[in-house]
Structure 1
Amino acid sequence: MKGSYNYRINSRIFKMNLKKPKKIGILGGAFNPPHLGHLILAKRALKAVRLQKIIFMPCGIPPLRKSNLAETKDRLAMVKILIKDNPLFKISDYEIKKGEKGKKSYTYETIKYLKKKYPDYQIYWILGEDSFREMIEGKWKYDGLKMLAEAHFLVADRKKHPFNLKTLPKKFKEKSKKFLKKVIRLNLNVPVSATQIRKEIKKGKKRNKFLPPEIFAYIKEKRLYIDLGKRKRV
């Protein structure tokens, strides 16, 4: 009887585990350069919704070009350095390869690609409050509701801009009621930005504590961000 009881319990646990959806997080961005703030954000997202893994996805040609964007090969190399000690963190060159073909990267198109590549996973897109607000205010190519229909969104606070669903535009909330449960706040304010780090490097300041020594050494060796005005476009 005891063996039969244990078998039934184990069977239930097995079935429950089968029903649990697998989750994959996507952290896109310029990573120009990547820093510990990106790692802090990824680790918080990993725990917040129990993601199986997180894919770091450096952009190729962003819709809004940046003249100070380092070469794709350098940004890829630096991201690899950043995540090398965590087996749950992976890297994708999907958007980079699109950029090499002269194509711009759009989040909606990337999500559609990922859903085909990982059909058994729920997609969790990780982004900042400012980017999420731009998305729902129609400043991106694709409609915010269309995006919410395809993926979950993990939204991190920005400095002086904590994320709150209550502050979203009323018109958007009315249209997106069935999708709002797919929007999750990451109560986290990353205390550093890549822009700040680039400015410090240009001024010859010592290494920012949020920039790993190995990445700082790579930047010095390749002489990245020394003269932002003359950086080559990707």
Structure 2
Amino acid sequence: MAKIGIYGSSFDPITNVHLWTASTVAHRCRLDRVIFLPCSSKRPDKSLHASDEHRWNMIQLAIDGNDKFVADDYEMKQAGWEIATYLTLKHYKEAFPDDDIYFIMGADLLLDIGEGKWKKSEELIQENKFIVMARDGINMLAAISKSPILRNADDGQTFHLIDKGLAMEISSTYIRDEFQRGGEPRYLVPDNCYAYMCQHKLYR
């Protein structure tokens, strides 16, 4: 039985922090594989700055050479109105029935789910396992205790909280802003991704 982490994000663009986070989570949680899952540009709640093709190509460049990292365009292929994390995790549990599936997310998303802002929030929490990464200013234990959705699923197995050393705040937004304003974010992204962005004049 393998342990697989599903790491969903816009990856617009993928950054060294994404890679470092995935590597650290895989090490601390003893994951056998991390699946990078870029979101679809067809989602009504997302406003993306690079095409699906460019984001996908940069992910492939970024994870090349790491046997634990794979990418999957599953959500990119779905109709925007049908995309929900609950359905995505159902897909992976059916695809890997003998393995343990974990959804990797930041504590800010845990707050949103706890407040019922996600589709099928209650079923999502009741039927899945999560690796939750610390975010500055968020008390994860307090968030769980305050939410009936979260605390009623807190059985010692549902949430793996990582509260030390993962609250890095360099974001894709920061990198896009640097490119747009003539800054230099070179060492915040993998070298081959930086070359790709320059070649295709992304985020300019």
Rounded Cα–Cα distance in structure 1 between residues aligned with 2:106 and 2:83: 18
Seen in structure 2, the aligned counterparts of structure 1 residues 102 and 134 have a Cα distance that, compared at 3 Å, is: closer
Question: How many angstroms does 1:175 deviate by?
Answer: 2.6
Q: Which amino acid aligns with 2:77?
A: K
Equivalent residues of 1:127, 1:153 under 8 A apart: yes
Equivalent residues of 1:70, 1:224 under 8 A apart: yes
**Residue 54 in 1 paired to residue 34 in 2?**
yes
Equivalent residues of 1:40, 1:190 under 8 A apart: no
Q: Which amino acid aligns with 2:131?
A: L
Which is greater in Rg? 1
Rounded Cα–Cα distance in structure 1 between residues aligned with 2:37 and 2:150: 29
Q: Which amino acid aligns with 1:89?
A: F
2:73: which partner in 1?
93
- How many residue pairs match? The answer is 200
Which of 35, 45, 62 in structure 2 is aligned with 1:64? 45
Seen in structure 2, the aligned counterparts of structure 1 residues 171 and 150 have a Cα distance that, compared at 3 Å, is: closer
Q: TM-score, normalised by structure 1?
A: 0.79
Q: TM-score, normalised by structure 2?
A: 0.90
- Which secondary structure does the structure 1 equivalent of 2:157 belong to? helix
Structure 1 stretches (4+) deviating beyond 4 angstroms? 101-104
Report the aligned-residue RMSD. Answer: 1.8
**Residue 184 in 1 paired to residue 160 in 2?**
yes
What are the ranges of 5 or more consecutive residues in structure 1 without an aligned counterpart?
1-20, 227-234
Question: How many angstroms does 1:75 deviate by?
Answer: 0.4
- Which secondary structure does the structure 1 equivalent of 2:103 belong to? strand
1:193-231 deviation per Cα after TM superposition (whole angstroms, max 9, x unaligned):
0000000000111134221221111111111111xxxxx
- Which secondary structure does the structure 1 equivalent of 2:187 belong to? coil
Q: Which amino acid aligns with 2:19?
A: L
1:5: which partner in 2?
none
